[in-house]
C-alpha cells in the first residue's frame, strides 16, 4: 500500500460526487483532481 492510502476503490462519477457531498472524501489532492476533471468536462 502507498503511504496514507487505506484502500483503492473503483466508483462512478455519481458515487464519487455523493461521497464528496457527504464529507466522506476530504483528501485535497483527490478533491483538486475531481475539480479539474469536472472543469474540463471529463466527468
Chain segment 2-42, per-residue pLDDT in tens: 677 778 889 999 999 999 999 999 889 899 999 999 999 99
Residue 34 belongs to a domain:
yes
| CB within 8 Å of 23: residues ≥ 6 apart | none
Look-up: residue for cell 483532481?
Answer: 33
* Cβ–Cβ < 8 Å for 34, 43: yes
Residue 4 belongs to a domain:
no
Residue 31 belongs to a domain:
yes
Residue 3 belongs to a domain:
no
Distant-in-sequence contacts of 27-36, Cβ < 8 A, 24+ apart: none
pTM value is 0.76
Residue 43 belongs to a domain:
yes
For residue 36, give its domain range.
9-43
Give the chain's domain count.
1
Amino acid at each position: 500500500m502507498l503511504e496514507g492510502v487505506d484502500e483503492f476503490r473503483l466508483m462512478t462519477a455519481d458515487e464519487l460526487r455523493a461521497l464528496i457531498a457527504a464529507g466522506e472524501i476530504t483528501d485535497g489532492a483527490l478533491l483538486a483532481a475531481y475539480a479539474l476533471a469536472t472543469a474540463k468536462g471529463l466527468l
